[in-house]
Each structure stands twice: as C-alpha cells, then as structure tokens.
C-alpha cells in the first residue's frame, strides 16, 4: 500500500516537473494555431516588411514593419540608457559600496523591480511626458524618447542583479593575484573583473533587453501609439506589444485582424525565445 | 605627464557612484510622489465603496476584491504544480538532457512577454475551454505566468537544505518520499514562502495578461462566482488614467498608492521571513 502511494506521488512529481515544457509548447502551439491563419491572405514576407498597418480598413493592410521599428527604436533607446547605468551600478554594489550601503542599494533595486509596470506608466505620464514636451517644444510628450527612458528603468533591476551575480562569481584568486601585482582597485576591476565576468554581463544585458521588448503597459501609456515608421525619437511610435494590448479588445474573433495580432504574438514569442536561450547559454558557459 | 592611476580610479569610482544615484534617486522620488499625492485620497469610503459616476467618484472596492480573487486563484493553481516541479528538479532529476530541457523551458516561460500570456489565456481558457472572460480564466493565465518564479525560488530553497539531512533520514530506513515530506520540505518552507509571496506580488501588479481574460472596464458590483468578470486594481489604474477623461487626479494617485502598497507589503513580508529565518537557521 505504501509502495503504491509512493509510486503515485513520484509519478505526480515527474508530471509536474514536465509541466514547464508542456506549457511552453502549449503556448507556442496555440499561438501558431491562431496566428498562422493570417498567412492565408498575407504572405509572411509582406506581413513582416510592408509599411502600413491599417487593420480595420477594407481590405485590411497588415504590415508590421512600423511596429517592429517602433519596438526596436524604443528598445535601442532604453538599452543606451540602461546598460551603462545598470552595469555601473552593479560594479558599485559588488565592489565599492560598504556593506551597509550595499544592503540599502540592493533594497532600492528590489523596490524598483517590484513596482508594477502600470504604476510606472502612470508616473511616466504625469511626470516624464510633460517634461519631454516642454523640454523639446513638442506638440505632445508621448514619444519614443519618453518610452525609452521609462523602459530603461524597468530593465535596470534585471541588468543590475544579474551583472552583480556575474561579478560575485569571479574567483577570489583573480582579484588577489591582481592586487599582489600592485594593481589599483580600479585597474583590478577594469582589467581583471570585467573581462572575467563578461559572459554574465552580456547575459544581463540581453535579459534586460528582453524585458524591454516584452513590456506592454507602460509602453502603451506613454509612447503615443502611432503606427508609423519612426523617423525621429521625438515622435509617437507604437510597439508590437502595445498593438496587441490595444487592439485585441476590438478585433472580431476569427477576423484577419484577430489572426494578425496572434501572428505578432508569434513574433514576440520567437524574439523572447532567442534572447533567453542565448542568455542561458552565456550563463552556462561561465560555470 | 605621467598618468596617475589613483586619479583615474577616483574619476571611475565617481562615475560608478553617479550611475547608482541615477537609479536610486528616481526610485525614491517615485515612491515619495505616489505617497504624497495618493495619501489624501485614501479614506474608508475610497477603499470600501463601489465606484460611481463612471469611476469619477466613489471607491475602488470591487477592484481590490477582484485583485485579491485573482491572486488567490493564481496561487491555488501555481503553488502545488510549482512546488512539485521544484521537488522533481532538486530531488529526482539527473544531470541529463531532459533536465536541461526542463530548465530551458522554465527560463523561456519566465521570458515570455506578459501580453503573450494574455493571448494564450484568451485562446485556451476563454475560447477553447469556454470559461469566458472570468476569474478562473484570469487566475489560470496568471498562475502559468508565475510558475517559473515559484519553481526557481522553491528549488533554491530545497537545494539549500544540507545533503547530510537526507542521508541521515535515508539511513534510518525512511523512503525517499518520506525523507522529502518530513525532512526536506519542512526545512525549505521559508524559502518556498518567499518565492510564493514574490509571485503573488507580481500577479497583483500585472495588467497585460488580464486584459482579455478577466478584467472588466467598469463593473460596480462584486463577483458572485468564479465565472464572473471582475475589475482589478492595475487595470483600473490604466483605465482611469488613460481611458476616462476628467477623473480627479487624486483618485489616480490614490489607486496607484493602494496597488503599490499591496505589492510592497508582500515584498516586505518576504524580507521579514528571510530575516527571521536567517537568525533561526540551524546549519
């Protein structure tokens, strides 16, 4: 009897262990099931590279190039802001800050990570958007720049915590060796720690960028949502994620528009898959 | 001129310090701003009454209740599966291809954009299982979303239980499951709790996954069953700050404050658990 009970429990544990694989596959299959239907009317090439997104015109024009470029522009902006600040902060916390300060800083970073994206979006709307508008004399502050700045803040906790882990995992003997040769603290960090932790740093950056690309609510609230090909960082743009969130409510189930939104979901899924697998390989190589 | 390495160091450290300030100061400002402007809105009526006049007056009670239902539903679903998956990875999994694939799947699950979870919940729970936009659809979607958080933190907690504990139990004739059930799990509870509460905090703040699976725009009543739609705090904040014109600014800040307080409270609880546990740790 006990043997049987144990057998059942162990099988149950195995099934739960496999649950993550099951869910990832399930998500992908359902996205494919709904999303691939759009390619009956639009070729994949046209879907990805044609320049106009007018899903409710007749016939609908379903080209997601403006959305891809919108996502890329905002992500690039956020990366430029968050990478130096995030890596710098990680080095400061891991190497320079005294123990007490370190605890406070880590709590601050955790706090930032915990703030819901809709709250950050709201704060961006009431503080950053008017600021950008008056600073650059624009008709509206809902721009790619505002989005980039806000998203940089959402990427930073990820970058800081993973980069910090990477710095901690550099063997102590490396540091001691550098100091013994007469290096200053900074020379040791610059010449020894950073190269040794570069794999983990790269993973940190990639995961931070992954977070930015997938972010939805804050982006939808502060980037202005204009589905046009961006020619400047000071105009409204629209991202892949915001398009799904903003339009799914109105799309008629089973319409081309509906399928197209799922196809955007496939694109996002593939991007996040590629980023996470690469980051995981980088982190594994280190160990 | 000879380059002075100490001056270079001072300049470099100054910039690193500056980078740190650039993160920490805005965080502080954001929290202070929300508290300062939101606090005047908080009163009994705001927290415990129904919204009126198209959300321009009244309270946010249904949204608070909705969020609590969603959090509870997500955890009822995700905790058992996540915990057992963590047990599998820490106690049973061998170092082979299958384990590698499971770990990769967890990493990917945590990286999937939240709005894609929303799409998935829409097709699977709302349409395929015909649950409609309801608490159960939303909870299940959110539950799958926080699985990776629960698995990862629980697994760390289980693995940090010293190996000698298991050896003693096994050498006394206990079976593998008895060892896990009576020795490993009890010692890992604080870590598991921490992970669970962190997951809860994340569920409470997420908006994109509930957009198409449960959240109601304006529904001034409380849900009667798990097949009802509900309002939820994050979605409510989104709605009153972008979709409804002429909402008193105080109400927006008030809603943001309630949501932030809820999430930060959960984080605070995990900090306290970690702190207490560190003091009591026997090994």
Q: In this complex, is the C-beta atom of B20 within 8 Å of any C-beta atom belonging to chain A?
A: yes
CATH T-level assignment (fold) for domain B62-278: MetI-like fold (1.10.3720)
Residue for token digits 């869910």? A23
The pLDDT value given to residue B283: 60
Cis ω for the linkage preceding A59 (within 30 of 0): yes
Closest Cα in chain A to B81: A16
The predicted structure's pLDDT at residue A231: 87
B238 touches chain A (CB under 8 A): yes
Q: Quick: pLDDT tens for A108-125.
A: 898 899 999 999 999 999
Kindly report the nearest CA distance between residue B45 and chain A, in angstroms: 22
Q: Running DSSP on this structure, what letter comes out for residue B209?
A: G
Residues 6 or more apart in contact with residue B71 via CB below 8 angstroms: B142, B200, B203, B204
B residues 67..106 contacting A (CB < 8 A):
80-85, 87-89, 91-93, 101-106
Query: Using one digit for the tens of pLDDT, what is the confidence trace for A44-95?
Result: 888 898 888 888 877 888 889 999 999 999 999 999 999 999 999 999 999 9
Alpha helices in chain B (DSSP H): 5-38, 44-48, 61-87, 97-111, 114-121, 135-159, 163-171, 176-179, 185-205, 233-238, 249-280
Write the CB contacts of A164 (distance below 8 Å, at least 6 apart in sequence).
A90, A93, A94
Say how far apart CA A246 and CA B261 lie, in whole Å.
27
Q: For residue B186, how far is the Cα from the chain centroid?
A: 23
Token pair of B204, please?
């409470």
Measure B103 CA to nearest chain A CA, in Å: 8
Per-residue pLDDT, B282: 63
Q: Is B58 left (phi over 0), alpha (psi -120 to 50) or beta?
A: left
Is B33 in the A-facing interface, judged by CB distances under 8 Å?
yes
Residues 95-114 of A with CB under 8 A from B: 96-97, 105, 107-112, 114
Question: Phi and psi at residue A50, in whole multiples of 5°?
Answer: -85, 155
- Helices (H) then strands (E): counts for chain A: 14, 2
What ranges do the domains of chain B cover?
62-278
Pairwise CB contact (< 8 Å): A114 & B263: yes
pLDDT digits (tens, 9 = 90+) for A227-275: 888 888 899 999 999 999 999 988 888 888 999 999 999 999 999 999 9
For position B2, what pLDDT does the model report?
Answer: 61
Check if the interface score ipTM surpasses 0.85.
yes
For chain A, positions 225-284, list CB contacts with chain B under 8 A.
241, 244-245, 248-249, 253, 261-262, 265, 268-269, 272-273, 275-277, 279-280
Point out the residue among A16, A31, A114 whose CB comes nearest to the CB of B120.
Answer: A31
Q: What was the pLDDT predicted at A226?
A: 84
Q: Assess A159–B contact: CB distance below 8 Å, yes or no.
A: no
Ramachandran region of residue B49, left (φ > 0), alpha (ψ -120 to 50) or beta?
A: beta
Considering all CA atoms of chain B, what is the largest pairwise distance in Å, rounded to the nearest integer? Answer: 79
A-facing residues of B in 122-161 (CB < 8 A) are 122-124, 127-128, 144, 147-148, 151
pLDDT at A107: 87
> Which of B109, B38, B59 lies closest to B257, judged by CA?
B38
Residues A118 and A121: their CA atoms lie apart, in Å, by 5
Quick one: which of B86, B169, B177 has its CA closest to A5? B177
d(CA B282, CA B110): 33
In order along its 283 residues, chain B shows pLDDT tens digits of 567 888 889 999 999 999 999 999 999 999 999 999 999 989 988 898 888 877 788 889 999 999 999 999 999 999 999 999 999 999 999 889 999 999 999 999 999 999 999 999 999 999 999 998 899 999 999 999 999 999 999 999 999 999 999 999 999 989 889 999 999 999 898 889 888 888 888 889 999 999 988 888 888 888 888 888 899 999 999 999 988 888 888 899 999 999 999 999 988 888 888 888 877 766 6
Given CATH 1.10.3720.10, say whether it is the number of domain A45-286: yes
In angstroms, the CA B96 to CA B120 distance is 30
Helices (H), A136-222: 144-168, 172-180, 185-188, 194-196, 198-214, 217-222
CB of B25 within 8 Å of any CB in chain A? Answer: no
B61 touches B48 (CB < 8 A): yes
Are the CB atoms for B53 and B245 separated by under 8 Å? no
Q: Provide the phi-psi class of A27: left if phi over 0, else alpha when psi is between -120 and 50, else beta.
A: alpha
Angle at B83 between CA B81 and CA B85, to 5 degrees: 65
* Greatest CA separation for chain A: 78
Q: State the DSSP H helix or E strand holding residue A111, giving kind and residue range, or none if neither.
A: helix A99-114
- In this structure, how many other beta carbons lie within 10 angstroms of the beta carbon of residue A212? 27
Report helix, strand or coil for B26: helix
Q: Tell me if A144 sits within 8 A of A235, measured CB to CB.
A: yes
φ, ψ (nearest 5 deg) of residue B131: -75, -15
Rg of chain A in Å (alpha carbons) = 23
Token pair 């910039």 is found at: B15
Q: Are A13 and B98 in contact (CB under 8 A)?
A: no
Interface contact A216-B147, CB threshold 8 A: no
């Amino acid at each position: 009897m006990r043997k049987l009970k144990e057998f059942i429990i162990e099988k149950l544990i195995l099934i739960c262990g496999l649950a993550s694989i099951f869910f990832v596959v399930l998500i992908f299959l359902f996205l494919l099931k709904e999303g691939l239907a759009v390619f009956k009317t639009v070729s994949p090439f046209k879907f990805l590279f044609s320049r106009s997104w007018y899903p409710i015109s007749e016939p609908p024009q379903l080209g997601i190039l403006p959305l891809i470029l919108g996502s890329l522009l905002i992500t690039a902006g956020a990366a430029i802001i968050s990478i130096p600040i995030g890596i710098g902060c990680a080095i400061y916390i891991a190497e320079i800050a005294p123990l007490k300060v370190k605890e406070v800083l880590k709590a601050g970073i955790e706090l930032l990570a915990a703030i819901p994206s809709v709250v950050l979006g709201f704060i961006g709307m009431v503080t950053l958007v008017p600021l950008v508008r008056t600073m650059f004399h624009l008709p509206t502050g809902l721009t790619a720049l505002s989005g980039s700045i806000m998203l940089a803040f959402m990427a930073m906790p990820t970058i800081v915590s993973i980069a910090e882990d990477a710095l901690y995992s550099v063997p102590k003997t490396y540091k001691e060796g550098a100091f013994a040769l007469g290096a200053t603290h900074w020379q040791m960090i610059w010449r020894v720690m950073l190269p040794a932790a570069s794999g983990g740093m790269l993973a940190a950056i990639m995961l931070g960028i992954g977070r930015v690309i997938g972010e939805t609510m804050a982006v939808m609230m502060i980037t202005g949502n204009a589905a046009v090909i961006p020619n400047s960082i000071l105009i409204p743009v629209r991202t892949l994620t915001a398009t799904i969130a903003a339009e799914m409510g109105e799309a008629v189930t089973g319409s081309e528009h509906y399928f197209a939104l799922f196809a955007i979901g496939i694109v996002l899924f593939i991007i996040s898959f590629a980023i996470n697998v690469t980051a995981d390989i980088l982190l594994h190589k280190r160990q | 001129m000879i380059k002075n390495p100490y001056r270079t160091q001072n300049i470099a450290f100054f910039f690193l310090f500056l980078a740190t300030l650039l993160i920490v100061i805005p965080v502080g400002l954001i929290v202070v701003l929300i508290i300062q402007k939101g606090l005047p809105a908080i009163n009994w009526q705001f927290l415990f009454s129904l919204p009126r006049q198209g959300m321009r007056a009244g309270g946010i009670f249904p949204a608070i209740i909705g969020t609590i239902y969603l959090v509870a539903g997500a955890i009822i679903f995700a905790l058992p599966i996540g915990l057992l998956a963590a047990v599998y990875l820490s106690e049973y999994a061998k170092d082979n291809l299958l384990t590698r694939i499971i770990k990769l799947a967890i990493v990917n699950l945590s990286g999937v954009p939240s709005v894609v979870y929303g799409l998935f919940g829409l097709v699977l729970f709302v349409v395929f299982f015909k649950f409609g936009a309801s608490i159960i659809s939303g909870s299940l979607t959110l539950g799958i979303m926080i699985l990776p958080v629960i698995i990862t933190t629980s697994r760390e907690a289980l693995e940090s239980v010293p190996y000698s504990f298991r050896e003693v139990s096994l050498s006394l004739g206990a079976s593998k499951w008895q060892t896990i059930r009576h020795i490993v799990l009890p010692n890992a509870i604080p870590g598991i709790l921490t992970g669970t509460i962190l997951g809860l905090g994340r569920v409470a703040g997420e908006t994109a996954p509930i957009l198409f699976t449960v959240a109601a725009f304006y529904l001034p009543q409380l849900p009667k069953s798990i097949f009802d739609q509900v309002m939820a705090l994050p979605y409510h904040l989104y709605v009153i700050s972008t979709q409804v014109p002429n909402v008193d600014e105080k109400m927006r800040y008030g809603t943001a404050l309630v949501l932030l307080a809820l999430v930060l409270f959960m984080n605070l609880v995990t900090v306290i658990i970690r702190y207490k546990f560190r003091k009591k740790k026997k090994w």
